[in-house]
Amino acid sequence: MRFLMKLLVLSCLLIVVYQYSQCTELSRASLNSDISENSLKLQYLQVFKEKRSVSEQQLAPFNAKVGVASSNVPAYSNGNDSYYSGEDSYLYGTYMGLKWQCVEYARRWTFLRKSSVFESVDGANNMWTQLKYVERVADKKQFSLKHHPNGSPTPPTNESYLIYPINKGAPFGHVAVIVDVLPNAIRIAEQNYYFNYWTKNYSRELPVTYRNGLYYVQDISEIYGWMEIDDKKELKPLDEVTARQIQMKNAPKLDSNSICSHMNVHIYLFILFLCLCFGYFMFF
Ligand SMILES: *[C@@H]1O[C@H](CO)[C@@H](O)[C@H](O)[C@H]1NC(C)=O
Ligand SMILES: *[C@@H]1O[C@H](CO)[C@@H](O)[C@H](O)[C@H]1NC(C)=O
Ligand SMILES: *[C@@H]1O[C@H](CO)[C@@H](O)[C@H](O)[C@H]1NC(C)=O
């Protein structure tokens, strides 16, 4: 009888210890993935610093950070324009696009600066015809996009998308974000157009001309026009609280139901404690 009891207590102990170690292992694994993501960011930073000291105009390898626009939206190098990484880019569990295509940058810019995203498109050129709105991620409220063809009676507006059709060098067209407006020029931020490091907080400055009552953005390739987010200044940059809420909502549901939720770890510890007490009184 006594032997049976010992066996029971011992196996109970073993099971609890095993379950608990599984839990800690799992949580450590999820922690590790966070760490590797951070060290990846650090690597970008190191590469960026090293390369910048070598040459401002040097080509940036795939994944290198080439610059930052609008204070917190980094642009990464796609390496060259024939490269297709096939890697998805996520931010706070929200899909941004393919690393490091131009559409990915435009969507990430929209997420960080306007807390919103736009629908999936096959190519940047499709944005001009397909996109009617951006959607605020937190509450799914939609804000319409106003299309201004290149050659419009109003000048290009800050924080709009500049959209290019398909051309010889760009089989999917191109998109850039207007990040500053000067009297006769605009400054844009983009990915997968040139592959050098930016020297300022934008990738290129394009002249704007005025002819016969119409404003034109000049570039070496044709431009459809610019799309303005009609939000009446309602959209705000993504703040940390909202980012965390979005991340929580996007987190796999498994976590909260699994044996390893915070609550259950405490329950296991409690059972372990009970077993120990029980064992102590039984044997000594
Ligand atoms: C770029 O940086 C300059 C000065 O460093 C600043 O005045 C300007 O607002 C910045 N522009 C953007 C779009 O972040
Ligand atoms: C483009 O970049 C990728 C990734 O860095 C590389 O593997 C490929 O060889 C490059 N292609 C050309 C044509 O440079
Ligand atoms: C354009 O918007 C950026 C923020 O996205 C701001 O820093 C910059 O000052 C704005 N430029 C103009 C001309 O309003």
Mutate which of 63, 76, 77, 82 for ligand 2 pocket (most atoms within 8 A of beta carbon)? 82
Q: Where are the domains of the chain?
A: 2-33+259-283, 58-248
Q: Which ligand is nearest to the CA of 203?
A: 1
Q: What is the full per-residue pLDDT of the chain (284 aa) written as tens digits?
A: 666 667 666 665 676 566 666 555 444 444 444 434 444 444 444 444 444 444 446 799 999 999 999 999 999 999 998 899 999 999 999 999 999 999 999 999 999 999 999 999 999 999 999 999 999 999 999 999 999 999 999 999 999 999 999 998 889 999 999 999 999 999 999 999 999 999 999 999 999 999 999 999 999 999 999 999 999 999 999 999 999 999 999 987 654 455 555 666 666 677 777 767 676 677 66
| Atom from ligand 3 closest to the CA of residue 178 | 1
Chain mean position to CA 21: 33
| Atom from ligand 1 closest to the CA of residue 69 | 14
For CA atoms 23, 29, 34, 39, give the dihedral sign.
positive
| Residue 179 near ligand 1, beta carbon < 6 Å | yes
Expressed in angstroms and rounded, the spacing between residue 104 Cα and the centre of ligand 3 is: 21
| Residue 158 near ligand 3, beta carbon < 6 Å | yes
Nearest protein CA to atom 9 of ligand 3, as residue: 180
Nearest protein CA to atom 13 of ligand 2, as residue: 82
Q: Which of 205, 231, 233 is nearest to 219 (CA)?
A: 205
pLDDT at res. 260 = 57
Q: In b/e form, how buried is each residue of 4-36, taking b as 16+ CB within 10 angstroms?
A: eeeeebeebbeebeebbeebeeeeeeeeeeeee
pTM of the model: 0.73
Q: Give the span between the Cα atoms of 242 and 264, in whole angstroms.
A: 27
Architecture of domain 58-248 in CATH? Answer: Alpha-Beta Complex (3.90)
Expressed in angstroms and rounded, the spacing between residue 209 Cα and the centre of ligand 1 is: 23
